[in-house]
Structure 1
Amino acid sequence: MTDNTSSASDADDWASALAEQTAASPSPAPAPAPEPAPATAQVFQQIQETASSAANVSPVDIARVMDVPVQLTAEIGRTRITIKNLLQLSQGSVVELDGLAGQPLDVLINGYLIAQGEVVVVNDKYGIRLTDIVTPSERMQKLKSR
């Protein structure tokens, strides 16, 4: 019975301490939540104006991006090899790619397929003659097949 008596006195001690704390420092009333500002037609109108003005691009706006450099890559094919096989490569090794002989090369801009072409030589340098510009739907097909 000593356990019940001690737990009852502990509970009384906690209750009295809590009552003293509540009486000594009354908690401030919670501040009312601020009312959200109503969305006005002006806010939506500004967004719509911005979207419609993007469709009407002026020559000055296009001039800003004309000098932005992009990475153009011509890809003849790809393959996957193990690190073990990679470490065994030496001068004269041949790596088989998935591209077929005579098949057009993929032309990528910043990693995105934009065209296909064939290799040409211009002033002792390699070049690419574009034979087909890839449409967005064709890009998706090509990505799915890889």
Structure 2
Amino acid sequence: GGGRGDAGLEFLADVNVQVRIELGQSTMNVQDVLKLGSGSIVGLNSLVGDPVNVFVNDRLVARGEVLVVKDKIAVRITEVVPAPKGGAGA
């Protein structure tokens, strides 16, 4: 053994990671947050058709487009973000 690549990571195959998709962001003051209730609308900084960010364990790993597949929201990956140099996994 001792080779490089995905084969050396097989022991991690069953480890769960948190995947989060970020549709957009908004900045609000506390007064407006306290007024939020059912039916409130929060505007985001992104436009329809903008790529969404895909995070794995809080690290940006990809961007993608929002789709609807069998009445469920899904994301098609359109870009993989390179790992930072000198960071984890380097």
Which TM-score applies when normalising by structure 2? 0.77
Q: What is the CA–CA distance in structure 2 between the aligned matches of 1:75 and 1:69, rounded to whole Å?
A: 19
Q: Which has the higher helix share?
A: 1
- SS of alignment partner, residue 64 of structure 1: helix
- SS of alignment partner, residue 127 of structure 1: strand
Q: What is the CA–CA distance in structure 1 between the aligned matches of 2:17 and 2:6, rounded to whole Å?
A: 22
- SS of alignment partner, residue 74 of structure 2: strand
- 1:109 equivalent among 32, 52, 56: 56
Q: Which runs of 4+ in 1 moved over 2 A?
A: 55-59
1:2-56 Cα distance to aligned partner (Å, 9 max, x none): xxxxxxxxxxxxxxxxxxxxxxxxxxxxxxxxxxxxxxxxxxxxxxxxxxx6x74
Letter in structure 1 aligned against 2:62 = A
Structure with the greater alpha carbon radius of gyration: 1
Residue 35 of structure 1 aligns with which residue? none
May I ask how many residue pairs the two structures share in their alignment? 83
Looking at both structures, which has the greater relative contact order when contacts are Cα pairs under 8 Å and sequence separation is at least 6? 2
Say whether 1:93 aligns with 2:40: yes
Q: Which runs of 5+ in 1 are unaligned?
A: 1-52, 138-146
- Alignment identity in percent? 35
Letter in structure 1 aligned against 2:11 = R
Q: How does 1:27-38 map to 2 (within 5 A)?
A: none
Q: How does 1:1-146 map to 2 (within 5 A)?
A: 56=4, 59=7, 61-136=8-83
Which TM-score applies when normalising by structure 1? 0.50
